[in-house]
Chains A and B, each alone.
Chain A
Amino acid sequence: MTGNRKGGDTAHQLWEVFTQPGDGKPFEHAGSLHAADGELALQNARDVYARRSEAVAIWVVPSKAIVSSTPEDVGPFFDPANDKPYRHPQFYRVPQGFRM
């Protein structure tokens, strides 16, 4: 957990940075950075990704903790949603002439 050592130097572990751009807004991925621990990762994230008040809150997450879908299974993985138009309001026919 304390980073990798190479060529007699230390590189620290990798973190993903998520910033909330404003009150009430969803967090979005800003980028990544290296830091020895969470506290330093948070401070570095502020200095690297929020130098101009781009964020009101920051999350840092060890990159290796992220589980993601892969491009190879993107078809079958999202397939269940592709044939269900009845999940959208336009699927249903209603009379005209008033507000729904």
Chain B
Amino acid sequence: MPQNATTDDPRRLAEFEARIARCKTIEPKDWMPERYRKQLIRMMSQHAHSEVVGMLPEGNWITRAPSLRRKMGLLAKVQDEAGHGLYIYCSTETLGVDRNDLIQQLLAGTAKYSSIFNYPTLTWADIGAIGWLVDGAAIVNQTMLAKASYGPYARAMVRICKEENFHKRQGFEIMTTLAGGTREQHAMAQDALDRWWWPSLMMFGPRDKDSPNSDDLLRWKVKQKTNDELRQRFVNITVAQAMAIDLTIPDPALKYNERTKDWEYGEIDWEEFWRVVRGNGPCNRERLAARRRAHDDGAWVRAAAEAYAAKHEPAASVA
């Protein structure tokens, strides 16, 4: 039972749910239950924040990329993440929120973003692991969201999924090269996989039984699959890729189930998951501080653009 059942008009709610059941798309001006709107704003703004904060761990390595080819690829990837943040912020605004308010929530530390970006990028191999695992996990999630019932979100996801295939391949190419290199390079790739594997599995969120928002999101077809279903899909895809480049998934409990055709994995460290979600991961404070600094340093650019527009307004204004 949705929390808003008493406040929403029951007739309109029934019409809305019938539309969802017929797999119709909901557009910004359509009537929607308050809880659908709130859940979408929460989910989409967290997604936008994640794209923006996600630039930080990788941006860290642009100047130290080992070749011009790698540098061009990484630069283009980080630029894509900025674009993805912008797509999703604007899609979120169609729900009646102001982007500036969302950004202020991020800077104030009251908004959440994907915990994966609170882990440090210690070596170049981490850039490979992020593209392969973090973007790989994001693609699994976003491919599902491209069919979300809310039109502006689904359309942003279609665009993003197209672009992120390049992200995953550039990461996997880095891992393949390192894993096939010297013994030291192979060890570097394995070390990155060891550190990023479990946080990547955590990206899919709590187990289904501990996921308080999932029921509404599934019923209203914002999500079409549960956290655990998506996590399993990611594991199944990724294990074969690791084997192909001679890297070992750091999970002694990992085993193939002939009957279900699933790779069964060991227990995730949920204490670590909640610790990072609550703001006490390795880099939470550093990321927010970097984001605030970037926002403040850009203030004069925004002010200058406004001043220039105001000065030229009579000539440039739309009749």
A interface, CB within 8 angstroms of B: 1-4, 6-7, 9-12, 14, 31-40, 47-48, 51-52, 62, 65, 68, 70-71
Max chain A C-beta neighbours (<10 A), residue from B99, B309, B318: B309
Contact B299 A9 (CB under 8 A): yes
CB within 8 A of B83: which of A34, A47, A62, A70?
Answer: A47
Residue of B with least CB distance to A35: B305
A83: shortest Cβ distance to chain B, in Å?
23
Residue of A with least CB distance to B303: A10
Contact B100 A9 (CB under 8 A): yes
Contact B305 A71 (CB under 8 A): no
CB within 8 A of A48: which of B29, B83, B313?
Answer: B83
Contact B87 A48 (CB under 8 A): yes
Chain B residues, CB < 8 A from A70: 29
Complex: A37 Cα to B304 Cα, angstroms = 11
Contact A2 B306 (CB under 8 A): yes
Residue of A with least CB distance to B89: A34
Contact B30 A71 (CB under 8 A): yes
Residue of A with least CB distance to B299: A9
Chain A residues, CB < 8 A from B86: 33, 48
Interface flag for B261 (CB, 8 Å): no
CB within 8 A of B29: which of A6, A10, A35, A71?
Answer: A71
Complex: A62 Cα to B91 Cα, angstroms = 16
CB within 8 A of A2: which of B29, B156, B309?
Answer: B309
CB within 8 A of A31: which of B156, B310, B317?
Answer: B156
Majority SS of interface residues in chain B?
helix
CB within 8 Å: A-B pair count: 79
Task: Report how many residues on chain B are interfacial, defined by Cβ distance under 8 Å.
Answer: 35
Complex: A57 Cα to B139 Cα, angstroms = 29
Chain A residues, CB < 8 A from B159: 31
Contact B79 A31 (CB under 8 A): no
Contact B302 A9 (CB under 8 A): yes
B298: shortest Cβ distance to chain A, in Å?
10
Interface string of B85-111 (1 = CB under 8 A from A): 011001101000011110010000000
Chain B residues, CB < 8 A from A2: 306, 309-310, 313
Residue of A with least CB distance to B305: A36
Interface flag for B312 (CB, 8 Å): yes
CB within 8 A of A68: which of B29, B90, B91, B99?
Answer: B29
The 8 sampled A-B contact pairs (Cβ below 8 Å) are A4-B98, A12-B302, A37-B308, A39-B316, A48-B86, A51-B163, A70-B29, A71-B31
